[in-house]
Each structure stands twice: as C-alpha cells, then as structure tokens.
Structure 1
Amino acid sequence: MNNKKIFFASDQHLGAPTPELSFPREKKFVQWLDTIKEEAEAIFLLGDLFDFWFEYKTVVPKGFVRVLGKLAEIRDSGIPIYFFTGNHDLWMHDYFEKELNIPVYHRPQEFTFSGKHFLIGHGDGLGPGDKGYKRMKKVFTNPFSKWLFRWLHPDVGVRLAQYLSVKNKLISGDSDVKFLGEENEWLVQYSKRKLESKHYDYFIFGHRHLPMQIKVGENATYINLGDWVGYFTYGVFDGETFELKEYKQI
C-alpha cells in the first residue's frame, strides 16, 4: 500500500432535510475529502451519499456540485473511488461510472488489502431483521415501479421522493439510530453467518448511522461507519489496523 491508507465513509444524506440545511454538511464532507486525498490509496463511499437520487435517461437531481466536483478531481488524480448504493440512492445506475469513472456496486463486494479480507457494502436488507425495509425495497427495485416513476416529471418525482425520504422512517432510518444490543444487531448476525462459510477480517457497512466496532469472530470484526449527519465518523485502514475516527472541521 506504499504507506498510504484506505478511507471509508457512509451516510452523508446530502439534501436532507432540505438542500439549504444540508449545505454545511456537504462543505464539511468536501473538506474531509481534501484532507485525505494526499494519503489515500483508495476511498470507499458506502451509500446514502444523497438523501435521494434518481437517474432519468437525460436528467439527474439538481445540486451537489461541490461534492461531485471534488470526487471528480480526486478520481482524475488517479485515486480509486468505489461507490456502493444505499437505500436512498439505490436508483443510481451509470452516471457515476460515465461521468466520474467511479464504479457503482449494488451488493456487498469482497476486497483484499495487505492480506486482510474485507466484505464491504451499505448494509441495507441484510441479515435476519430490517423486514419492513426489505418489503419496501422489493417495491422500489421492481422494474415496473421504476418505469412508472420515470414517467413523472422530474419536478414532481424528485419533490415527492424527497418528501417521502425525510418523512418515512423505514426509508430515513430514524427508527434505527439506537444500539439494539449485539444479539439484535442484524448486521452483526449477518457477519457471523458469513463467517460460517468463509473467513473475513473485516465487515464494513453503513446504513445503521451508528459508529460501531464489534468482534464477530476470533480474528474478525464488524464495523459500522456511523454517519455524516450527527457523528461525522469515518474508517481508515493503514495496512495493519482499522480505526474509526471522527472528523473535526478545521
């Protein structure tokens, strides 16, 4: 890794509850990207960068110029960036790939860094819980549902989706911001189940909005990255150890 580090962040929810109120958080996140770019080997964004995102064939949501520009700058400098869709931006397709040269993943992926095995994803709909969202996700990802939504004028569709995103707790995650106990944390249970068939050193997820670092095996750790709404936390792997850190704006 040439003494460089791999950075992980999730759940910025830019645009919520309103574009005006989320603007300081966007500036803070862009500043963080600026501070890490010199020592970054790679950057992983684990979903819900936007509180809502839908790609029409010729239209994408208005706004987020600063963060998109910063991602383009970092990617153009040669630093790999990997994006995982979350439950708020699950309707993302190829815009990031075509415009920013950033691959987009819709399911957890395996990576190996410095001999350590990682399973990385947003975390929504995994494990034994999250049943209400799992039902909702089936509706949202149904091709017919997406086809119907695409027929709405963007001014109507985006406004409707933004309203539902903020108001609906199943989508917004407001019902999931309390620690449930290790035995009830469904991503912990998911990680333990995955270890039954294959070893991973680290399970890295977002979605839960809580910074967590929990041992799930003798040499395996589940990490939840927290968010950029209340915690401003991120993960960093230096080739030997993984740390959760809080970004304090300069």
Structure 2
Amino acid sequence: MPQHHPLTITVNEQLTIDAGYWQECVEEDQTPYRLISPPQTAMYRQALSHVEEAAKDLKAPAKSRLHFGEVAIATVAVCLRWGSYFAVLANHDLPQWTAAFDPEVSGIGDGEMARINIEASAALSDWIDLMQADQQRFRKLVKAAVQLLPFPIAHLDGSTYYNRFRALGAINSTTGRRYLMEAFARDFGSEWLEREKARVLVHPTRALANGILNEHWRTLRALYHVVSKPSEETWPEQALPYAIAFKPPADWSLDEQTRAIALSGAEQE
C-alpha cells in the first residue's frame, strides 16, 4: 500500500490545518504520478471553527463600526488564504521547488487550480450564507478572523473600486433587480434567461460565489451591502440577478466541496 504523506499547514500557535495527504502511485503502464487527497474535514471548516471559538467571547460590533476592509480581509483569509488548497502552495514551511522561477514552467497544475476554485467557492458560498443568516454573528467572525488569521494586508482602503461599488449599489433594491432581469431578457432573450435561472436557482449562493471568485472579488463590497440590507424578497430572488451578472462559469460545480488531484511524474528528491 502506498505510503501516505500528510500535508499540514501551521497557521498560528493555536491552529494547524489538515490539508490532506499525498502518495506516490503508478498507472497500469507504470507511469508514475502523485495523488493528493483532501482532508476529511474541509480546510475552510477547520479555519472557521478556530475563528468561531474565538468569536464566542467577542461582543458583536455595530455595523457602523465594522470597516468594509475588515470584511474583505476576513473573507479572503478564511475562504481562500487558509480555507483552500492555496494554503498548501503558499506554505513557507515546504522546500522551494527548484523550477519555481523558470518562466517556461507552470507553477501550478490544472488539478491544483481546480481544487482551489472548488474549495474557495464552496467556502465563500457558506460564508455568504453566514453573512445573510446572522449579521451580528458574522460581524463577530470578521473581527476574530482579522485578529487571528495571518494575512499580508493589514488594512484595505475602503475607497478601492468605489465607482464600481456605486454602480452595483444602484441596483440594490427590489425595483433595481427587476430592471436588471428585464434588461437580461431584452438583451439576451427570454429563453436564455430562463435557462440561466434554471441553472442558477439550484444553488444560487454557490453560483454567486463562483462568479465572484472567477473575476469579481472587487464586487464583494456590493455583495455585502446586498446581504446586509433588509428586503422582503427571498434570498434566491435577491441573489439571482447578481449571480447571472457576475457570469459564473457554466462548467464550474455548484455542489462539489473539494477534489483529489493527480500530478504527473514521481516526487523529485
């Protein structure tokens, strides 16, 4: 039986994340490859549990006292930096790959990129649900995450992408979302819109997360204001226009939580 080599990430003195394990395998034709298997408990869940434990004793800050830069930093730290396979690739405790700076060599495999996308999107989807379900608890989690999880940016300018935020904020209402859906039908046709609705409404939050992760992290500010603004609409009704507008890739999973990775070749000494 192939030997399992554990992958662990040291976040801080209190938290070590299990990132799964890797093993050397061979195809039927004896071609070697390395199989990287994910952990039983998602990396995001491990990071979130650590943050939740610390947040229990915190007083929920008022919304006016929570800077959006903190929301952005906490979101990326929990969902991507420490809550996905990205943490393995960014692990400074691992030896430096000799070909890492060769411009002719890709620094990441397709399977690795897919696992990052899947795990970060699944994490962001859950994080959005937390934001939407209990805003006081969410604000406590943000404060705890910023305090506990190391991140290269200590402060984020809240004015960044402000014009884009204002443009998206303009449709942050029932009427605005209705106009947006009408514009989709007018510009792309009602049949296209119905197909998109059928696809997105199966998992609206995950579709929204896919779109944000794919190319719109900067729209997180607009999303935060959508979620935190009271509305008589259901959450799927609120999320649908944005999920379509953010153009989540049609081939990205709406329910997968993680994925094993097969890297070609044997491990180099």
For the superposition of Structure 1 and Structure 2, which TM-score range results when normalised by the shorter chain? under 0.3
The TM-score with structure 1 as length reference comes to: 0.25
Structure whose residues are more often helix by fraction: 2
Structure whose residues are more often strand by fraction: 1
The TM-score with structure 2 as length reference comes to: 0.24
Relative contact order higher in (CA < 8 Å, ≥ 6 apart): 2
Structure number with bigger Rg: 2
